[in-house]
Amino acid sequence: MCSPQEFGMNAGGMRMVTRSRVLGPRARPRGGEKSHHPVKRQRKAQSLNVAYEASDGENGEGTEPVKAPSWEPQDWRQQLANIRTMRSGKDAPVDQLGVEHCYDPSAPPKVRRYQVLLSLMLSSQTKDQVTAGAMQRLRARGLTIESILQTDDNTLGTLIYPVGFWRTKVKYIKQTSAILQQRYDGDIPASVAELLTLPGVGPKMAHLAMTVAWGTVSGIAVDTHVHRIANRLKWTKKVTKSPEETRIALEEWLPRDLWSEINGLLVGFGQQTCLPVRPRCQVCLNQALCPAAQGL
């Protein structure tokens, strides 16, 4: 996207003109005596001496400032700072039982990455405490692709119950494990596109898998907490109807260096303060800045 300077405008709505093109009383006619101050070539704009000229009137009165090249929500930086303050204790369920804490750190790299993916598949529409319990039971039996493929469906269902939609997840886990063994030599894919081809793996899981398993920030992981809070704070231009819509909307303006932080930050905030039902607005530092709180 072009900057205001590339269009000859400064950030205050002022038109930029080079001094080399402004003829004052001392300017010499073209073709006349050479100037003591040769004009630098315009192709190197950064070297030009520039002056600012009001687009309407000498003093620039009545001019409108140039709009920022991309939209961003009002007060978002202060809102984010307040959420960081409220989350400074790192004592939400996600901080102790999230995907980063569910795999065996002493396992070989391929096994660790597989366990990360499996914990993400189990976590869909399931509380962190339940996911962590299921992962503990699986790891107690030796959690590898081979061990999962050798476990019958009934036993696997018993081990992961009561995660949400556990019967469907048994099927997806078996299918995905077979694909990983056959096509990826027992590892997990290293791209979002390939991860999304696996049964039972959605965008949130794929982006978190890239971050936790591969150490690559590929996008913002948006679950129901992030989706809800982003809409309450009006961090999207318009109301979004799904986590994937919210992800796209957030990535349009949120600085990329915040993408990896925002999931854990907002998930914990949603678990403790910005609850789905009866949010605790009275103790929230953003009460005066939150559009949703004003309507409660």
Spatial distance between the Cα atoms of 37 and 50, rounded to a whole number of angstroms: 15
204 catalytically annotated: yes
Give me the catalytic one of 171, 204, 237, 241: 204
Q: How many CB atoms lie within 10 A of CB 161?
A: 15
Q: Is the CA virtual torsion 219, 224, 226, 227 positive or negative?
A: positive
| 241: three-class secondary structure by DSSP | coil
Query: 177: which 2 tokens?
Result: 């494990």
DSSP H/E element including 207: helix 203-214
Closest CA to 126 of 94, 154, 162, 177: 162
| 181: three-class secondary structure by DSSP | helix
**Distance between first and last Cα of the chain:** 39
Closest CA to 230 of 200, 193, 270: 270
Spatial distance between the Cα atoms of 110 and 214, rounded to a whole number of angstroms: 10
Catalytic residue set: 204
